Amino acid sequence: MRRPAILSLLAATTALTLAFAAPTRAAEDAVVIPAPAVDAAPASGIQTAVIAGGCFWGVQGVFQHTAGVVNAVSGYAGGTKATADYQTVSSGRTGHAESVEIKYDPKKISYGKILQIYFSVAHDPTQLNRQGPDSGTQYRSAIFTTSDEQKKVAEAYIAQLNGAKVFSKPIVTKVGALEAFYPAEAYHQDYLTLHPNQPYIAYNDLPKVENLKKLFADNYIEKPTLVSASKATN
C-alpha cells in the first residue's frame, strides 16, 4: 500500500478525523526487549544514526520525543540522489528506504539506546519489506551505519535479540554502511506533530509515541524536537 492517496485526500478526510479517537494499540505492538550488551564507546560531539522502519512519519515522531536527540529528519537512504523524491521512491524500485537521520548527543543517549527504542517501539523488525499497512522495499527495516563501531553494535544487538527470542519471528533488519542520506520534502517533516488527527497517524503512529512514554519513561520528552524549530535556530 502507498500513501500518496492519503496525502491527496487530506482535505476530504478532515471531517472524518473527528470520528477517530487514538486507539489503545498501534498496528505493531511494542515489545519489551533487553538493552544491548554491546554499546558504542562514550564520545564527544553530536553523533549521527540513520535508521529505516516503515513510514518515516512515525519513526521521526518517536525520536522527536526522545531525550538527547537534537534533530530527527525524515528522508531517503539506499539509493541515488536522482531518485530521492517521494513519488519516485514510492515506486519501490529505487533502492531507497524511507529513513530517519537522527542527530544525538552521546552524553545524553547512546547509540545502543537508540537501537533499543527503534526495535522496541518504533517499528516491527520482523516484517520483511513492509510495515503495518505499507508494503514495498521502501518500507524495509534497515540500519545504515556511519562507522565500523555502529556496525558492530547493530549486528551484535540483532544477534542478541534473536538469540533471546524476544520476538516471535527472526529479525529481518539489514545492516549496511550509509552512502548518503537525502532529506525528504518539507511537507513530510514534523508530520506526526502537525497532523495528529489524521487517521493514519492516529492508528499507526501516535500509539508508538505512547509506548515510548510507557516503556522508556527516562528517555521520553513531552515537547517534540521539531525540524522546523531546528531550522529557525540555525
Query: H helices of the chain, where?
Result: 4-8, 10-17, 56-64, 86-89, 111-117, 148-164, 191-194, 199-200, 206-215, 227-233
DSSP category for residue 129: S
Euclidean distance between CA atoms 8 and 15, whole angstroms: 15
DSSP category for residue 35: P
In contact, 3 and 200? CB cutoff 8 Å: yes
In the residue annotation, 46 being an active-site residue is answered as no
Cell of 82: 536522482
Packing angle between helix 56-64 and helix 206-215, nearest 10 degrees? 40
Which residue out of 49, 55, 158, 206 is catalytically annotated?
Answer: 55
**Active-site annotation, residues:** 55
